[in-house]
């Protein structure tokens, strides 16, 4: 029966991850995807191994093909390029489609790793019945399969699903080494760790957890203290050596030159990281960072609670976490060795997850994308939480009601992939209903509408952009007034501007007032600020808003700008 249920869980995972991967119909509406697709398209496959490893000559190295600002690892892009070339998909549209397929594929594999890791972790766990020991791994895999943020990330060609898979894979093999002490498990863990680093440098966050597990294992061995220290140092040294060795293979472009014994990092990469940090500070005038300026410390928790997991699923994670903490047996006496080790490892996982989440919540950028590698562990907590509620015979009778409830939010969210993108719907409506030759205003740092479509009814539109993110100086407002006065329509194609600018009224006093007047159809205040009045005539919202809708100010731009945003069309009225 377990194999049947695991098969059904994998079917559920496939359904949520692979449905309508071309959700934006080749309009490339995710900015990070556009960048990665351009890099992959510009890449050229090396003619030899020597060329591949040569940082100065390889045309797989972003700075050599015109992309000096590049802060990701290169492995996901190189893999995509090789497959694109060999399958005849080396063009702008199909590279994105292939990249999304790979994102979905690696996240699907993560579901399997969650199942296998949970089996290892809870093996012989005290105060858990044998029946539940077989069921919790299935529940953990199910929980990850239906977690909304991984589902969304699987639909994007970004490095995050690759990173998540390899980070969690590195943990699985280090845990496997605890269960069966083999040097090969350390090698595999270091291989996966290096592949994670080759996807994104933030893979470094998993290293303390992996080495902590190694330390716990060696600490409980029946050796003298000196032998334990020596053994730990040797194993860590081997682990780091193999990680470095594999990293040199999978992403040689992190380094300044091809000498294996030259550990200096690429100057271009370091400059990119420094520049990224400058962009993501409170004092920077970088539009995508405006949303974080006054974001409260609980902003990340709120996004995770409301969207990333959903309120009900989040509560099951909390229940599982409390249950594990309550049942951990950290006393050394009267415990079997294997049980002691597993208890300490579970405690370490909880400490690492909570510690990292608190750390990320304290950062300026509190983005959910920086927590994707916590979701496999949250799924384990969630699986335990479901088992606590389910108790006995969980796959029979009324227990099915629980699974239906857990499926509600991922099903509601996934409806956006079965319906046209809101920007596409808005563009179709504009071509059908607005007068040809009209001047339509969009906003800087957002995708202007209408999108260029074949079915345009022979109409054309003038499009200009308002500099809404510029400092609220007189020059900016003079330009905005001029554009508004000569425009016929004004389209907000997401909440990038109106969702973030009003949260910092000290920086944007006039723009904040204008958005408030615009969104409330307050003509009197609009005319006072700009001399003209625009009123809403059409709104396009994500399909799941029919079932559940949170105030967009509570949710970060990952869900309100990149993926099926709210689009509002305004028309100028003479009053």
pLDDT 10s digit of each residue in the chain, 575 long?
788 999 999 999 999 999 999 999 999 999 999 999 999 999 999 999 999 999 999 999 999 999 999 999 999 999 999 999 999 999 999 999 999 999 999 999 999 999 999 999 887 554 455 556 678 999 999 999 999 999 999 999 999 999 999 999 999 999 999 888 889 999 999 999 999 999 999 999 999 999 999 999 998 888 888 898 999 999 999 999 999 999 999 999 999 998 899 999 999 999 999 998 888 888 888 899 999 999 999 999 999 999 999 999 999 999 999 988 887 765 444 456 667 788 889 999 999 999 999 999 999 999 999 999 999 999 999 999 998 887 755 445 567 788 899 999 999 999 999 999 999 999 999 999 999 999 999 999 999 999 999 988 889 999 999 999 999 999 999 999 999 999 999 999 999 999 999 999 999 999 999 999 999 999 999 999 999 999 999 999 999 999 998 888 888 999 999 889 999 999 999 76
C-beta separation of 5 from 395 below 8 A: yes
Residue 388 has a pLDDT of 85
C-beta separation of 500 from 290 below 8 A: yes
Residue 330 has a pLDDT of 54
Could you give the strand order of the β-sheet that contains 533-540, starting from the edge strand earlier in sequence? Answer: 462-466, 439-443, 489-492, 567-573, 533-540
Taking the model in full, what pTM does it have?
A: 0.94
Contacts with 163 (C-beta within 8 Å, 6 or more apart), sequence order: 73, 196, 199, 200, 202, 203, 372, 373
Where do the structural domains in the chain lie, given as residue ranges?
2-415, 419-573
The two beta strands, 489-492 and 567-573, are antiparallel
The C-alpha atoms of residue 198 and residue 253 are separated, in whole angstroms, by: 9
Which spans in 26-91 are helix H? Answer: 31-42, 49-53, 75-86
The C-alpha atoms of residue 441 and residue 514 are separated, in whole angstroms, by: 15
Identify the three-state secondary structure at position 568: strand
Residue with tokens 């639909």: 155
Residue 389 has a pLDDT of 84
DSSP letter at 163 equals H
C-beta separation of 304 from 148 below 8 A: no
Q: Is the peptide bond before 450 cis (omega within 30 degrees of 0)?
A: yes
Residue with tokens 């059904």: 8
The C-alpha atoms of residue 388 and residue 315 are separated, in whole angstroms, by: 12
The C-alpha atoms of residue 292 and residue 299 are separated, in whole angstroms, by: 9
C-beta separation of 89 from 95 below 8 A: yes
The C-alpha atoms of residue 475 and residue 458 are separated, in whole angstroms, by: 36
CA distances from 277 to 32, 77, 270 (A): 17, 23, 11
The C-alpha atoms of residue 521 and residue 508 are separated, in whole angstroms, by: 20
The C-alpha atoms of residue 310 and residue 303 are separated, in whole angstroms, by: 9
């Amino acid at each position: 029966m377990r194999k049947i249920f695991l098969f059904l869980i994998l079917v559920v995972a496939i359904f949520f991850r692979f449905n309508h991967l071309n959700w934006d119909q080749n309009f490339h509406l995710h900015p990070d995807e556009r960048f990665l697709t351009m890099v992959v398209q510009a890449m050229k496959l090396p003619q030899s191994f020597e060329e591949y490893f040569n940082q100065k000559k390889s045309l797989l190295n972003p700075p050599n093909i015109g992309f000096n600002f590049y802060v990701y690892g290169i492995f996901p892009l190189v893999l995509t390029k090789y497959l694109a070339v060999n399958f005849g998909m080396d063009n702008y549209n199909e590279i994105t489609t292939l990249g999304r397929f790979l994102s979905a594929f690696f996240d699907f594999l993560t579901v399997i790793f969650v199942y296998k890791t949970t089996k290892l972790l809870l093996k012989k766990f005290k105060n858990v019945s044998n029946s539940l020991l077989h069921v919790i791994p299935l529940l953990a895999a199910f929980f990850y399969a239906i977690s909304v943020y991984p589902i969304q990330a699987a639909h994007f060609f970004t490095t995050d699903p690759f990173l998540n898979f390899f980070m969690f894979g590195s943990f699985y093999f280090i845990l496997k080494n605890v269960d069966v002490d083999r040097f090969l498990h350390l090698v595999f863990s270091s291989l996966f760790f290096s592949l994670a680093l080759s996807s994104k440098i933030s893979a470094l966050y998993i290293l303390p957890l992996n080495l902590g597990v190694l330390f716990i294992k060696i600490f409980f061995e029946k050796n003298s203290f000196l032998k334990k220290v020596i053994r730990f140092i040797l194993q860590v040294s081997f682990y780091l050596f193999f990680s470095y060795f594999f990293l040199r293979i999978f992403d040689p472009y992190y380094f300044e030159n091809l000498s294996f014994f030259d550990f200096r990092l690429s100057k271009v990469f370091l400059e990119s990281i420094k520049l990224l940090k400058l962009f993501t500070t409170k004092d920077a005038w970088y539009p995508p960072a405006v949303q974080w300026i006054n974001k409260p410390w609980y902003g990340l928790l709120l996004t995770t609670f409301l969207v990333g997991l959903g309120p009900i699923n989040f509560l099951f994670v909390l229940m599982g976490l409390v249950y594990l903490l309550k049942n951990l047996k950290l006393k050394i006496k009267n415990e079997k060795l294997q049980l002691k080790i597993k208890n300490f490892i579970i405690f370490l996982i909880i400490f690492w997850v909570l510690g990292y989440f608190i750390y990320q919540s304290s950062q300026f950028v509190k983005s959910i994308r920086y927590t994707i590698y916590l979701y496999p562990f949250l799924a384990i907590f969630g699986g335990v939480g479901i088992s606590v509620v389910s108790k006995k015979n969980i796959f029979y009778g009324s227990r099915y009601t629980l699974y239906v409830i857990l499926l509600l939010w991922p099903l509601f969210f996934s409806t956006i992939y079965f319906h046209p993108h809101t920007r596409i719907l808005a563009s179709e409506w504009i071509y059908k209903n607005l007068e040809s030759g009209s001047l339509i205003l969009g906003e800087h740092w957002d995708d202007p509408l209408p999108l260029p479509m074949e079915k345009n009814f022979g109409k054309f539109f003038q499009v200009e952009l308002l500099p809404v993110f510029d400092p609220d100086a007189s020059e900016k407002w003079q330009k905005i007034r001029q554009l508004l006065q000569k425009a016929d329509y004004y389209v907000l194609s997401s909440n990038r501007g109106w969702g973030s600018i009003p949260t910092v009224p000290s920086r944007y006093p006039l723009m904040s007032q204008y958005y408030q007047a615009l969104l409330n159809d307050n003509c009197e205040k609009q005319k006072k600020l700009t001399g003209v009045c625009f009123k809403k005539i059409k709104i396009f919202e994500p399909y799941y808003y029919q079932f559940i809708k949170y105030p967009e100010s509570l949710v970060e731009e990952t869900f309100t700008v990149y993926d099926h945003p709210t689009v509002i069309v305004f028309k100028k009225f003479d009053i």
